[in-house]
Amino acid sequence: MNSRDLVLGRIRDAITLAPAVDAEIPRNYRTGRTLPDDERIDLFVDRLVDYKAYVHQCAATGIAETIADILAANALKIVGIPAGLDRTWVADFYDELVVDSSDVPAPELERLDAVITGSAVSCAETGTIFLDAGPDQGRRALTLVPDTHICVVFGESVEVGVPEAMAKLTPERPTTMISGPSATSDIELERVEGVHGPRNLHVVIVS
Amino acid sequence: MSAVTLGLPSFPPRSPEGAGFLRGAEKFPAAAHHELANAQLRRNIGKATHTIRAKRIHVTEELPDWEELRDAGSAIKTDVMARLPELLEQFEAAVIARGGTVHWAADANEANAIVTELVKTTGSDEVIKVKSMATQEIGLNEHLETQGITAYETDLAELIVQLGHDKPSHILVPAIHRNRSEIREIFLREMPDVDPELGDNPAELAAAARKFLRHKFMTTPVAISGANFGIADTGTLTVVESEGNGRMCLTLPKTLITVMGIEKILPTYRDLEVFLQLLPRSSTGERMNPYTSMWTGVTPGDGPQEFHLVLLDNGRTAALADKIGREALNCIRCSACLNVCPVYERTGGHAYGSTYPGPIGAVLTPQLAGMHGKDDPNSTLPFASTLCGACFDACPVKIDIPSLLVELRHQKVEQSGVTAEALAMKAASYAMSSSTRWTAAQKAAGLGRIVAGKKGKISTLPPPLNGWTAARDIPAPPKQTFRSWWDSDEGRAALDQARRGAHPDSDGKAEK
Ligand code: SF4
């Protein structure tokens, strides 16, 4: 017998020996929540700041300027973007712009000072941004290897809680949930930002 | 597709002896004795568990629907155990449909052999690893080493443990027993090209680890991970982490091998909305962990282009065959029960001898690996608890650990005949079965204060109860029974105060 049949047989035996009871799943937790725009965004900002992310807010017409300011203020000169990024966002940036593609070997991403992407959906209550490898977000390595990630979040894509945000996702897409920059508390439980992932997360909230 | 079982069902086998880390060399009381002597360890663990505990209470109280989430989480897991065969088959089909390959491993030895073979096929003699309890449990790193393959742990704490030639002592913060100066010494001794001027503040130490591991992430073609959840209806796998080492391993190498216990399945993608609220808040006391990765099979042009999933039994079906032990399989390894356990807090994780320490370890370990008679260290684990109930209150999926421990004690007693515990249990059940007898027994227990003397502790009891006091001091019984306190002036005053809304100080409050 192969191991597949062996293990499945053992599970069936186990359930015969100790019959399971049918469980009704109570889903009385909060779902389908909404909040007025300003409250939702305020909550999101509060959580992001708590996670030591840098938050910038602007109107749709101010994206390029906000991004250029962040890049200049932090002396970020070599900047990667996914192929599907709205180019008007980087219209005010004049240093080296690198358009990523899947055949660039990951180690080459190390020369990027920063990466700029969009986002799929966000969750205000936990300060979480979801990336789903859409055209404006690129492959997963792009937002992982460079030390600074500048992520543009549109106000209307921010949901209140985890159930509301997850309902907007497509399960089959490779999805990364980000809550603040990389962090560890492994040494005497003291939080240190940035071990392996990006050490700086700038969130540009557009509303 | 499904297997046909012929004849009578038989009890599935436990995890094989001699493979992996589900059994320590020493019985718990003996191991606890020398761990207790380590004051540094006790300080570190005490500080850490108290900190996480306070944070957890803060972020769980923040959610008005926390209890509803726990109810949903518990029911979903119970449903999973009832429908495990069909869910696993559905999951397997979804992973294959998305370009993954699925392997089944009956036990630790088979899982190790499958992974070794997969790594050898890639031609690499190095692998990078995401922290994973399943691969710890089967002793994968040690097995790979015998096969000439070096496994690098990439979680900072796991790296500290690995470089320190040590064992993890906590399921979430494995190096919780080490302080900064010890970690600095380990790095200086074991990491190539470390600046000898390396300081001991956590930021500097983390930076040294970052530098050491960057090169590994960029050059190693194979990664091995565990999984927090596997979603049956979509074939999606999930890894929850903080540092980004998980993302590195899950996306940069060419080949990804994931070892997942068969109990880690969730029926639908929607169920993640429950567990992604329960897990981070219970485990690190954060609203959300910094990073969660979800992937389904292989995505062309993004991440590993070869994906293997190893589904592991290794005693899980034996736990499933026991209607009580089955509940232990609901565990999502958040470690909340460790952080509230008064026994764990004093002994630390090593005393349990298993990959799974603390209250849940005391239940799960004997379930997976069995208790082979009175000389087996695992048969002492169900006694490594005060049955105070704190673990049950903390558990996000409502596993009734104290009752499971009592049941295991019973099984152990059945197995090995009369012990002090059996006698005590018998006496207790006799006393408890009648209220007059119980009150009388409580009054008699007041006599224990005389034995205890001034220090308020009973350190040695006469046989046959000396087995119990050999490993712990018994606090002296209270001066009064609860009933007599209730009738006293003090009791009446407290009751009065409570009625007026001002709660008298309780122990639990100190945590909040
Ligand atoms: S038993 Fe419950 S509290 Fe303990 S680790 Fe498992 S899920 Fe967490």
Global pTM reads 0.85
Quote the DSSP letter at residue B312.
E
Nearest to A195 among B11, B78, B156 (CB): B156
* CB B276, CB B334: distance < 8 Å: no
Interface predicted TM-score (ipTM) of this complex, two decimals? 0.95
Condensed to tens digits (0 to 9), the pLDDT of residues B15-29 reads 998 888 998 888 888
* Least confident span in B13-17, B84-88, B226-230, B479-483: B479-483
> Tell me: the pLDDT tens digits for B238-252?
999 988 999 999 999
The token pair that represents B229 in the structure block:
């959840």
User: Which of A164, A169, A188 would best serve as a mutation to test chain B binding (most B beta carbons within 10 A)?
Assistant: A188
- Tell me the CA–centroid distance for residue B125 and ligand 1, in Å: 35
Which range, A165-179, B395-409, B426-440, is most confident? Answer: A165-179
How many interface pairs between A and B have CB atoms less than 8 angstroms apart? 275
Q: Return the residue whose CA atom lies nearest to atom 6 of ligand 1.
A: B331
Average pLDDT over residues A64-91: 97
Pick the atom of ligand 1 nearest to B335's CA: 5
- Taking the CA of residue A88 and the nearest CA in chain B, the distance in Å comes to 26
Cβ of B262 within 8 Å of Cβ of A10? The answer is no
Q: Which of A19-28, B34-43, B256-265, B300-309 has the lowest mean pLDDT?
A: B34-43
Give yes or no for residue B138 CB within 6 A of ligand 1. no
Residue B392 Cα to ligand 1 midpoint, Å, equals 9
The side-by-side arrangement of strands in the sheet containing B255-261 is B101-105, B306-312, B255-261, B222-225, B126-129, B150-153
pLDDT, one tens digit per residue, over B150-205 is 999 998 888 898 899 888 777 777 888 888 888 999 999 998 888 888 988 888 89
Comparing CA positions, the residue from B190, B143, B134, B139 lying closest to residue B167 is B139
Nearest CA to ligand 1 atom 8: B334
Compute the Cα dihedral for A172, A176, A179, A185 and give only its sign.
Answer: positive
Could you give the maximum distance between any two Cα atoms of chain A, in Å? 70
Q: What is the pLDDT of residue B108?
A: 97
Q: Whose CA is nearest to atom 3 of ligand 1?
A: B395
Rounded to the nearest angstrom, the distance between the alpha carbon of A49 and the centre of ligand 1 is 30
Mean pLDDT of chain A: 94
How far is the CA of A200 from the CAs of A70, A71, A147, A192, B11, in angstroms? 11, 12, 6, 12, 53
Centre of ligand 1 from the C-alpha of residue B287, in Å: 17
Centroid of ligand 1 to alpha carbon of B357 (angstroms): 11
C-alpha to C-alpha distance for B341 and B379, rounded to whole angstroms: 19
How far does the CA of residue B173 sit from the closest CA of chain A (Å)?
6
Of the candidate ranges A173-182, B180-189, B236-245, B464-473, the one whose mean pLDDT is the lowest: B464-473
Residue B57 has pLDDT above 50, yes or no: yes
The residue length of chain A stands at 207
Confidence class for position A80, pLDDT limits 50, 70, 90: very high
Q: Are B112 and B140 in contact (CB under 8 A)?
A: yes
Q: Inform me whether the pLDDT recorded for B498 exceeds 90.
A: no
* Shortest Cα distance, chain B CAs vs residue A72, angstroms: 25
Give the three-class secondary structure for B153.
strand
Instruction: Using the predicted structure, report yes or no on whether residue B511 has a pLDDT greater than 70.
Output: no
> Ligand 1 in contact with B279 (CB < 6 A)?
no
- The secondary structure of chain A as a DSSP string is --HHHHHHHHHHHHHHHSPPPP------S--S----HHHHHHHHHHHHHHTT-EEEEE-GGGHHHHHHHHHHHTT--EEEE-TTS-GGGGTT--SEEEE--TTS-GGGGGG-SEEEE--SEEETTTTEEEE---TTT--GGGGTSSSEEEEEEEGGGEESSHHHHHTT--TTS-EEEE-SS-EE-TTTT--EE-SSS-SEEEEEEE-
Contact residues on chain B for A172, CB-CB shorter than 8 A = 98, 234, 236, 296
- Region B111-124: mean pLDDT is 98
Residue B396 CB–ligand 1 contact under 6 Å: yes
Tell me what pLDDT residue B377 has. 87
